[in-house]
C-alpha cells in the first residue's frame, strides 16, 4: 500500500483544506475543519463475484459501496492522553464484499481534522484505496485511487458540531494527487463498527427529557430521521453528568 498514490482536494482551489493538527490536544489555530467526498464508478464487462478493499484516509473515513454503508476507519494506531504528535505507523483496513453485478460505485467521505481523542492525523488530508474485483470466470483485476476519482468539498459540514444541509457542496471534479507522509501497515485490530441502537423517540417539544439505559459503554453519536415541512434548526446538547455539559450540536436543513 505504501507505494500507491494518495488523492485529495485540489490544493490551488482549496488551499485552506489541505493541512490539519495531529490530535485534539495539539494547537488548532489557523486550521479549518473539512469533510471531503470522493466517488468512483466502475462499469465492467464481466460479472463481479466479490470485492476486496484496502483503504486508509487521514483523519477518518466512511466507506459506502453501491449506496450502502460499509465501514468506518481507520483503526487508531496508538497514542495517549495529551499526545500532540502523529503516530509513526498508520493502519489501513480491509473489507470483503460479495456481489453479483457488473457495475460498482464507491463513495467515501473523509474528515480532515481530528475530532475525538482516538483520532490521529499526520497533518494533511489524503485518501488511499486499493480494490480488487474477483470475477465469476475466476479472473481478477486490481484498481487504485487515482485522478479518475471525483472529489468535492462537502460544505454542509461546517465543523464537528455544526451541520448545515442548506449549504451546497462544491462541484465534482477530478481528484488531485498528494504527496505521502504516511507509513501504512495492515491493522490486526478488528474494524470499527457502527450500529443503530433502537428505539428512542423524541416528542415534538424541545424541552422533553428522556433517560435511556444501555447494556454497555458505547461511543455514541446521534442518528436522526427528520421530517419537517420547512426549514428546521435542531440543537442537541450532551452532558457527562446532569450539570456538566460536554458539547452542543447544531443541525440546520430543509426536508421539503
For 75, 122, 125, 156, 189, the CA distances from 176, given in Å and listed in that order, are 25, 18, 11, 22, 30
The better pLDDT of the pair 7, 189 is held by: 7
For residue range 25-80, list pLDDT tens digits in order.
Answer: 999 999 999 999 999 999 998 999 999 999 999 999 999 999 999 999 999 888 88
In which residue are the cell numbers 481528484 written?
Answer: 175
The cell for 52 is 476486496
Residue 3 — pLDDT band, cuts 50, 70, 90?
confident
* Per-residue pLDDT reduced to its tens digit, 177-228: 999 999 999 988 889 888 777 655 656 555 666 677 777 777 777 777 788 8
152, 186, 220 - which closes a domain: 186
Radius of gyration of the chain (CA): 20
**Per-residue pLDDT averaged across 236-255, rounded?**
83
Query: Which CATH number characterizes residue 119's domain?
Result: 2.60.120.260
* CA–CA distance, 161 with 141 (Å, rounded to integer): 41
Looking at the structure, do residues 182 and 243 belong to the same domain, yes or no? no
pLDDT of residue 230: 85
Say if 1 falls within a structural domain. Answer: no
Nearest partner of 73 among 61, 89, 91, 64, judged by Cα? 61
Rounded to whole angstroms, how far apart are CA atoms 88 and 223? 34
For residues 162-168, give the mean pLDDT.
91
On whether both 81 and 165 belong to a single domain, the answer is yes
Q: Could you identify the residue written with the cell 455539559?
A: 245
Query: What does the pLDDT read at residue 173?
Result: 97
Report if residue 41 sits inside a domain.
yes
- Which pLDDT score, from 0 to 100, does residue 198 have? 67
CA 185/CA 203 separation, integer angstroms: 47
- Rounded to an integer, the average pLDDT of 87-115 is 95
Is the confidence at residue 255, as pLDDT, over 90? Answer: no
Domain count, the chain: 2
The Cα–Cα gap between 200 and 219 comes to 17
Closest CA to 58 of 20, 31, 11, 12: 20
Q: 17 with 139, same domain?
A: yes
What confidence tier does 147 reach under pLDDT thresholds 50, 70, 90?
Answer: very high
Same domain, 91 and 204: no
Q: Which of 63, 90, 83, 28 is nearest to 19 (CA)?
A: 28
User: Do residues 30 and 152 both lie within one domain?
Assistant: yes
The whole-chain average pLDDT of the chain stands at 90
Q: Is pLDDT of 238 > 90?
A: no
Question: Are residues 121 and 167 located together in one domain of the fold?
Answer: yes
Same domain assignment for residues 124 and 199: no
CA atoms within 13 A on the CB side of 113: 22
> What backbone phi and psi angles, to 5 degrees, belong to 216?
-165, 180
Range of the domain at 237: 195-256
Give CA separation, 213 vs 26, 199, 204, 210, in Å.
34, 11, 22, 10
| pTM, entire model | 0.86
Amino acid at each position: 500500500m505504501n507505494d500507491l498514490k494518495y488523492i485529495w482536494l485540489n490544493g490551488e482551489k482549496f488551499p485552506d483544506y489541505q493541512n490539519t493538527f495531529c490530535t485534539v490536544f495539539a494547537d488548532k489555530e489557523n486550521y479549518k475543519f473539512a469533510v471531503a467526498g470522493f466517488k468512483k464508478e466502475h462499469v465492467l464487462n464481466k460479472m463481479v463475484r466479490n470485492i476486496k478493499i484496502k483503504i486508509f484516509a487521514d483523519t477518518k473515513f466512511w466507506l459506502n459501496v453501491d449506496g450502502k454503508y460499509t465501514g468506518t476507519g481507520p483503526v487508531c494506531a496508538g497514542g495517549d492522553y495529551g499526545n500532540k504528535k502523529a503516530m509513526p505507523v498508520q493502519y489501513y483496513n480491509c473489507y470483503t464484499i460479495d456481489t453479483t453485478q457488473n457495475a460498482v460505485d464507491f463513495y467515501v467521505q473523509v474528515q480532515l481534522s481530528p475530532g475525538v481523542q482516538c483520532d490521529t492525523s499526520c497533518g494533511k488530508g489524503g485518501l488511499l484505496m486499493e480494490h480488487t474485483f474477483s470475477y465469476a470466470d475466476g479472473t481478477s483485476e486490481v484498481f487504485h485511487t487515482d485522478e479518475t476519482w471525483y472529489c468535492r468539498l462537502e460544505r454542509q459540514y461546517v465543523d464537528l458540531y455544526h451541520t448545515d444541509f442548506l449549504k451546497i457542496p462544491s462541484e465534482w471534479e477530478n481528484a488531485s494527487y498528494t504527496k505521502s507522509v504516511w507509513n501504512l501497515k495492515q491493522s490486526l485490530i478488528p474494524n470499527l463498527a457502527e450500529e443503530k441502537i433502537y428505539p428512542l423517540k423524541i416528542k415534538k417539544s424541545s424541552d422533553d427529557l428522556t433517560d435511556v439505559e444501555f447494556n454497555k459503554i458505547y461511543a455514541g453519536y446521534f442518528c436522526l430521521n427528520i421530517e419537517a415541512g420547512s426549514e428546521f434548526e435542531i440543537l442537541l446538547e450532551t452532558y457527562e453528568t446532569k450539570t456538566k455539559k460536554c458539547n452542543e450540536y447544531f443541525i440546520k436543513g430543509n426536508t421539503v
